[in-house]
Amino acid sequence: MSDFPQEDLAIDATGLVCPLPLLRTKKALQGLESSQVLKVATTDKSAVSDFKAFAKQTGHEILLQVLIDDKTTWHFIKKR
């Protein structure tokens, strides 16, 4: 059993810098239904705060943000 939320869609935004991870996230969320979960992998250090601000502005819910290795963070976002 995983300690991570079950995602409905996963996107890889590693290697991309602001604002590209957020733009790809917005586009991916458009294709999801309400309450579905998107997992985004990022390496941009500003992504953690960017995703928190994005969720606050849009009403989506950050379920978890976790550093997987020394560079990669996984963000689990539940669509409103």
- pLDDT score, position 77: 99
pLDDT values of the chain reduced to their tens digit, one per residue, 80 residues:
478 999 999 999 999 999 999 999 999 999 999 999 999 999 999 999 999 999 999 999 999 999 999 999 999 999 99
List residues with catalytic annotation: 18
- pLDDT score, position 2: 74
- pLDDT score, position 21: 98
* Domain architecture of the chain: domains with CATH: 9-75 (3.30.110.40)
Dihedral angle sign, alpha carbons of residues 46, 49, 53, 54 = positive
Helix (H, G, I), strand (E, B) or coil at 49: helix
